[in-house]
């Protein structure tokens, strides 16, 4: 009986944790094909220094069949440094600014420009 109650408690805790997940989905506003999902923590508008490593998942549109590029879709690890994200794998520094209302952010394009997108992209919270 105690084991059943313990397992029920664990399942309830897991369900609550899943519902309160802080993962947020953001869609690029002009062509609406690229998606960013921040894991664990979404950068805030206050611009505070945060050298702790975080991650986001980037989903890029399908590449043309004729493309020889590899897809930039995948997980990116980053730290915040002022108005920039430092992408850990490539040590690339890209502009990043969360709007004060927290409903959109501007980020420097960190992937190849086969899409016709500008150098600064705006993503909206979904």
Nearest to 112 by CA among 79, 78, 68, 81: 68
Provide the whole-model pTM.
0.76
Nearest to 98 by CA among 60, 52, 50, 61: 50
Q: Where are the alpha helices (DSSP H) in 1-126?
A: 2-19
In tens digits, the chain (126 residues) has pLDDT values of: 555 434 444 444 444 444 345 678 999 999 999 999 998 788 877 655 566 889 999 999 988 788 888 889 999 999 998 899 999 989 999 999 999 999 999 999 999 887 789 999 999 999
Domain annotation for the chain: domains and CATH numbers: 22-63+70-125 (2.40.128)
Q: DSSP 3-state assignment of 78? A: strand
Residue pair 91/81 in contact (Cβ under 8 Å)? The answer is: no
């Amino acid at each position: 009986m105690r084991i059943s109650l313990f397992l029920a408690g664990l399942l309830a805790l897991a369900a609550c944790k899943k519902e309160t997940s802080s993962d947020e989905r953001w869609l690029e506003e002009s062509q609406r094909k690229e998606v960013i999902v921040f894991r664990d923590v979404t950068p805030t508008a206050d611009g505070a220094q945060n050298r702790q490593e975080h991650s986001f998942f980037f989903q890029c549109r399908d590449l043309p069949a004729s493309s020889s590029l590899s897809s930039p879709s995948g997980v990116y690890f980053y730290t915040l440094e002022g108005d920039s994200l430092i992408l850990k794998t490539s040590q690339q520094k890209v502009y990043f600014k969360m709007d004060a209302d927290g409903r959109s952010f501007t980020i420097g394009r960190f992937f190849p420009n086969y899409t016709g997108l500008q150098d600064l992209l705006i993503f909206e919270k979904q």
